[in-house]
Structure 1
Amino acid sequence: MPELNGALWRKSSRSHEQGQCVELAQNLPGVSAVRDSKAPEQGALVFTKAQLQTFLTTVKSGQLDL
């Protein structure tokens, strides 16, 4: 597991005060991390940068819409 102490977490500018959001850290060498903004103490999911890019591209294309 990569060290996340140096992670710079950011939340979407579209996030509202309700706190239902995820935070993303992309400043880590070779990986990106995602965590729940309401419960950051519960840890993060860590992906290679390529894995995260593939996921985001797939979401944006609508392939995962229900």
Structure 2
Amino acid sequence: MEPDLDWSKNFPEFQEILNSRINPEWLYSAKANMVLNPAYTGEGKQLFFTKDIIEANKTIPFF
């Protein structure tokens, strides 16, 4: 699976990740198992480091 994310961005947003064709269960599972942690939570937004998403994919592959 190849998500449609802009990998040149430092911080993809939660909703942007969900809209990128990644199975939502991957995101929820990665967060629940603390494989992927928000880099910044505020103003009603959760942002994630791009490098953390890539690392999380090594532990729990995108599905």
TM-score (norm 1): 0.31
Between Structure 1 and Structure 2, the one with more strand by share is 1
Between Structure 1 and Structure 2, the one with more helix by share is 2
**Structure with max Cα Rg:** 1
Higher relative CO (Cα under 8 Å, sequence separation at least 6) belongs to 2
TM-score (norm 2): 0.32
